[in-house]
Every structure is written in C-alpha cells, then in structure tokens.
Structure 1
Amino acid sequence: MAIKNSKLTKFTSLLKELFQLNQPELDFGIYRIMHARKDDINRFIEQDLPKVVNTAFSDFESQDKVVVQQELVKAKKAAEDAGFDASQSPKVRELEAQYSQSVDTDREEGEVYDALLTFFSRYYDEGDFISRRVYKEGTYAIPYSGEEVTLHWANKDQYYIKSSESLRDFCFRLKSEQPENPMRVHFRVVDAEAGAQNNNKEADDAKRVFILDQENPWEIKDNELNIYFYYRASNLDDWTDDALEKATAAAKKKPPTLDHLKQIAEQHLLSLNGGVPDEWRELLEVKYKKTDGELADYSVLMSQLNLYTKKNTFDYFIHKNLGEFLTR
C-alpha cells in the first residue's frame, strides 16, 4: 500500500504542476481556463482517477497476494489445531498453489502510476510541453520512413509562442473601476542581454531573470508608475544587504534566484525608503484577491510580479495535432 500511495502522490503532484492549479496569479491563456475548471480537475485527480484504477483491478481482488496469504495462514493454523500435518492438507496445498500464481495488486497499481508518471514526464518540463519519443532509457526515437537523410529537431511540429511586447512593457491597473484615473503601473525592461527575445532554451546556469534596477527603480511619468527591470543572468552583486540577512548560508554562496529577486523588488518598492508615493505604495501592498474571492498571503505587487515573470519565462508550445498528442 505504501508503494502505491507514494507513486500515486508523485503522479498527482505532476498533474497539479502541469495544470498550474496552485498558482492563481497565472490568469491568462489556457491557465485561466484551467483555474475556471479547477474544482473539476482536482476532483478527477484526487478522487476519480484512483477509482478508475481500483475498478480496473477489481477483477484481481480474489487473486490478491495479501488476501491469499492471509487465507493460507488461517488454513495452516486450522490444520495444526486439528492435529494434521499442514503440508499434507489439500486446502493448504491449494492455497499455496494459488499464492504462487497470485498478483500483488498493490505493487501492480503502483506500476500503473509509475508508468503514467514516466509518460507525462516525457511531455512536460518546467512549463514546456515537449514531445520526446523514448526508445529506451536516455535514448529518444525519431520518426523515420526509410529516407537516406532525414532532418529532425526536438520541437518539430510544435509552435513556439512568446510575446516580446509583454516582456518589454507589462501593464496593470490599480483602480480598474475608475477609467478616469486607473493608476496604471508598467513593468519595463530597460536592458536585456542578447538573445532575450529569441526562441533558444537557456541552460540552467545562464537563465535570464528579472532584476530591479536599483539605481533607477521607478518613476512617475504621465501620471503612470513605471518600474524598471534588467533581464539578464543574476550574479552575487544582485544580493541586497537585507536579502542576505534573511537568506540561508547555502543560498548566499550563489546568485539570487528569481524568487529572491522578486522579494528584493517587493521589499524595496514597498518600503518607505523606496520613495514610491504613498497613494501608489498603499495600493500595491494591499493583499491580492484571488479569482475565488479569497485574500492571498501576498501583495498585489507580488501577484503582478509573479504573473509578469511566469508569463515571460514559461515557454508555450501548441502541438499541431493536439488530439493525437493527448491520445497516443
């Protein structure tokens, strides 16, 4: 049971990560649809899916190894209590033969979840939906019809979608109900390293992240608040003294991560020392209201930072034949 539950937990965790159900700040595109159907998806993952697997194995309940073993122990005890040699008992022999051919349903169910985990892991990696036909462990097969030369690439038959416009200028309103004075806030990239808007997947140790421009973090222009970021790989100099005090010893030895940098930006912009005018700062530090109406434990500013960074660091692929992709 422990093995099955462990693999079920891993698989359900992957599905929830894939659908991004635990990140309500992703309020755009397919994620908005996923959040609208969140209850239905969670019910399927947590309740319906285990029931489907259990039903599929219901025919094997009478052959379950654990059940047969319990019956075998009882039969041996009954024979011994009656003064017979248990090894000569027809009932014991029958159960022993059945035990040798029985099925460990707990282990088999675990194998089902393990296979599902392996399958879906092939098509998802850090927000990317990819197609990798696995030939064997560590080796991927490619479509081949006998040509002398064939050209293939990892994301063949997929379309890459990334908006450079939202990278350069991301805008939201603090007072959407007041069109005459919506108090617009812009996140703007003032400098991006070469390749910041191309379609190349970056190495983990060279990933570009959003870093608040500490020298010129914000300005009010045309009654709109502009907040400025660099988009580049981080380095040790990007740590602030306040952030270093809160970081773990291991984290201090490395450049700050995107999560660290978002916290640094929030702390600077919402602090009195940051200089953002009170009317803007007070609205930015209000707790964010989720799509279900509940208040989050993070600010409006952090919710928009999450949305901005996720929207521009996740890679979105649409397979040209989605039906085939989902059913194979």
Structure 2
Amino acid sequence: MNSFKEKFFNLLLGMFVGDTKIEGKGGFVNLLKIKKKYFENEFKLKLQEKIEEILKIYPEFESELFEKLYTFFSRYFSESGSIYFVNTPSYHQIYEKIYTDKEDVILFWKTRDLYYIKTDRIFKSLEIKIEENGRECKFCFDASKLEYKKANEKREVIYELDEERTTKEKIYFYVYYSERGKTTKIDEILKKLKKKEIKITEDILEKAFKRFEQQSEVDYFIHKNAKAFLTEQLKLYIYNYLFKERQDWTKERLDQIYKFQEIAELIIDFVSKFEDELVKIWNKPRFVFNSNYVITLDRIVKQNKEKGFEIIEKILNHKNFNEQVKEWKELGIIDENFDKNKIIQTSLTGKELNKKYQFLPIDTKYFKDLEIEILSLFDDLDNQLDGWLIKSENYQALNTILPKFKEKIQTIYIDPPFNKEQDADYLYNVKYKDSTWITLLENRLRLARDLLKDTGSIFVRCDYNGNMYVRLLMNEIFGEENFRNEISVSRISKQDPKVKRFNTAIDSLYFYSRSEKFLFNLLFKNLVKAKSERWHAMDSQGQGQPLYIFGYLFEPPKGRHWTYGQEKIKQMEEEGKIRLKCKKCGYIHTSGIWKGCPQCQNKNEIKVEYLLTPTEVKQIDSNWTDIPGSSPGWDFNPVPNSE
C-alpha cells in the first residue's frame, strides 16, 4: 500500500471512529460506536468499489488520487472526528470570507459554524511501565467501564484496584469518573497490595496515575452544515489547482481531476449525512427527568384557606419534614430556635400563619406524595410561578424551552465561564482554546436572542481574556446598532507584588438590546452629600453656533457650544434661571437687554451660567465600580455577582 493510500484510509478511520479505540459508556461514546459501524458496514465498501472502478480506467492515477484525497481532507478532519479548519498552513491557500458587503470587519475563528459538544479525554485502556530504583512495575488501566462526562462538568478520574487480575507481575485498575465526591482510596489500595505481597510505594502509584491521565484532551463539535462547507472548500481546491499556473490541460488529465472530484463528493456526501443526523440529535428537545416546585406557605393558604392549612399540617407531620428543615437552615432562612409547632397559630377568626414563618418555601422534592395535592390548589400554575430554575447543560435547556418562551423573555443576564489561562477552582471548565470558547458562547447567544422580546435586553459579563471576542460576537448576533453600553464592574481585588503589571480591577458587562423598541428606565442613586442650588457654566464640548442671550448675540467659547437651544434660553430668561457674569469685575446680569457691563464696560468677556436645582440623587452611568465585585456572605461557589 502506498504511503498516501495508507494515510488517507487512516484519516477516514479517524474521522468516523476517532483517534482511539472506543471504550466506556455514555451518550457521546454511543454515537461514536454507531459512527464506527456506519463506516465499516456501509461507507468503506462503497468507497472502495468507486475507487476500483476509476483505477480500472486510470491505473497510473492511483498514487496521485490518494495524495490529493489525503491532502484535501486532512485540512478539515480533526482527531475527534469533527469537521473544521484543522490544518491550514499558508501554502495550502485556503479561503474563507472575512468580510461582507454590510460589514467590513467580522469575527472569524476556526470553529465557526459548529456546535460545541464538550471537551473530554476519550481514555483508552493502557499498559504503563514505571521504573523505580532499578525495578520495573507494570500497571494495566481498564477504561471499558468508564462512563464519560455528559457536558463540561469538572470530574476527577478515580481508580479501583482489580484484585482478581492483579499479580506480582502486573497490577490492574478499573478507571471511573468520580461521582458524589468519591475519591481514589490510595491507603486501601496499598493495604490490598500488601496482602498480595506486592510492595509498591504511594509515589509509584501517583506516577502511574499521572502517566495514564496524560492522554490528550480533545474538543468535540458537530458541523451545522458539513456538506455546504466541504463542497465549497472542494470547489476552491480544484479551482486553485487548475488555475494556479497557466498550462494546457489534456482531456485525459481533466477527466482524472473530475474523477478525483467524484470520489471527494462521495466522501462529502457520506460524511455530511451522518453529521446531519448528529445535528438533529443534538438539537432535539430533551426530556425532563425530574421536576420539583418551590411554593411558599402563604401561597398555599391563599389559594384555599381550609384545604391549604390541611396540606400544611400534612407537611409538618411528613417523614421528610426534617430534610426540609435542614435545607432551610443551610440557606440561613431559619435558626436553631425554629419550632415547627409555631408555624400555624389559632386566633378568634380561626387558623392563621405565623408572620415570622409565612414565607417559608416548601420544596416538593421532599413531599412527592403530596405534590399533586399541592399543585391542584392552583388554577393556572404556569402563570402563577415566579420563575423556573433548570439544572441542565445550558444549551440543551435553552433549546428545550425555546418553543414555550420564544420572544417572551424581557431580560437575560449571563456570566459565562471566563476563558482563563489556566484551570481554576470551579465546578466546570474555564480553560478552553479561544476558538472553542467562542463557539460555546456563540451557540448559546443565538438561542438567547431568539428568547428575547422585541423590548428585551441582554447583559453579558466577561473579563480581559475574552472581551475582544465578545464585543464582535455580540455585534454579529444582536447587531452593532443594538449595542447600548460597556459597563465597568468591580472584580475581587487580588494584589500580587510578583506580577509585573497593574492589578486587574474591573470586568466588563456588555449591554445589548433585541431591537430599537427596547425598554429602558433611567436609574438613580442617592448622593452621599446632597447638592444645593447652584450656578453652572452653560457650554458643552463641541463647536456650536452663536445664540441670542438677553438680546445680545453671543459666540460660544472656542471648541464649545451652548448647552441649550434658543427657545429654551428664552424660557430660562423668563424664569430667572440664566445669568451673565462679567469675567473682569464679577458683575451679575439677570434681566433686560445686555448692553455691556455697567461697572467696567466689558461687553464680550462674559461667562453664561444657568441655575441647577437642588439634588439628592445622581443618574447612574456605565461606571458601576462603586459596588463590590461579588456578594459576600453567600455559602455558594462561585460567589454571585453584585450587579
């Protein structure tokens, strides 16, 4: 087999199967297994038949055919089986649109037009040798039982000793992802090995685990329109090949190029069919596995007083009530002196709720046998709910609720995972390739726009790692004309004298509207010290025209314009809210035609002032650094933002 033929089929195998043996469990792994069957049972056989058919006509074309197939497809097929600009050195002369007739600057990134699925390591079973003090230790890691991550939750890899297969020559481990805080119990492993008379130190174990975990992390994507993308790139490739240099093409040579095109189009057709199926699966609304309702006691009583108190008494005597109390204490809603017998009080008019406890929230997850009875109190539950709290991978959650909430949401605030230089102490990933992070955000922002009303707005918080991308991405999705503000918000200040730069003190909050019809209310804050009535210069930045003030035509100062127009100035003269102040002697003119200063005869060196009314408030602008970077006192990770 010539080298390009081998490379080409290995490339296809990687495209359909991924660059690893498929082991373990999980939704995405199951898709990879389906993809592998599709490749081996259908696609590969048809492709080989087509290639053999062409090589019967042009046997001398075999080497070049595989070279061209490999050269073209290696640009777009990644190790995870995703399709995008993977290998694009400048000499390949790959083309993509980087501006349009409407925009002369747009954001381009390698993984544009993809759905981001997740970042994960598809672990393969591995045998590792560790040498220590002249002794060789062999470890076998079995990944066949590992259930892969569903999204981007952060989960540690843990190891369990397989005692049955372990011998003095080779130590076997099963590999899992941690659940519910489970960890690798190294002390127990060492004790079990000692019973088998296998002497291994903790350091050697740690080295073996680290070596296993060095398997590379990859990003998984699905192309939104693989056929259109690859077909366009193929046309550009052939055009560039035919017309790069001027030469005469024989009919036979052109036919060979067309045969290459036929094979390439066959591959594109097969690849894109499977990719289209993945798109359908990815965008299919998800089933809700479980739902609970949180309803305060006062609302239960308000719907039906007699029935409401009957249900509350059942709740108070329920076997799971102590679990509800535990949650209230964790949330700081009640203290250690809480007494459930004081929730319901009796007065002359009958039963009533203790005002201290009337807003206690009842979570139906503790009272599933009473849930239907509680919900039956409400005639129109959907409209009486204050909100939904959804625990899910957020793209799937947004996509699932889209039919119900399309163009119905007034305000969206998101604080996406910042694309930090290194991983951090969060329950989710915060370290991505820039292009991956942009795709993750783009997928969700497009859904967010579909959810917003015409009068709605969205606020997106970001830091210096991603600000330059977010602004351009928001311009593309919401329209540059709908940009409203870049608001500065404080972040938690960490002074590090070793860092050779200024401390990063702020993050950015990008404010965009859905359309020009968006609702906006001015916000005000109280001044620390109220401002009394005072006079202020009546000129603002930017050159303007002369206007009549007290019957005299005054030129504004150079580079300035009069703050108010002619009509407003006339009104202010009548109300006594404008005056002229002589710059030479300080004379004040408040009424009548201005003929010059009666004290020093100065006529033009005048300061025009208007009267500001007393104020105790200040209009809020885009500088929000006067509030803390986060809300302290919450036992919650990550700490909620103050804005």
Q: Which TM class, normalised by the smaller chain length?
A: 0.3 to 0.5
| Greater RCO (CA < 8 Å, at least 6 residues apart) | 1
Whichever of the two has the greater Rg, that structure is 2
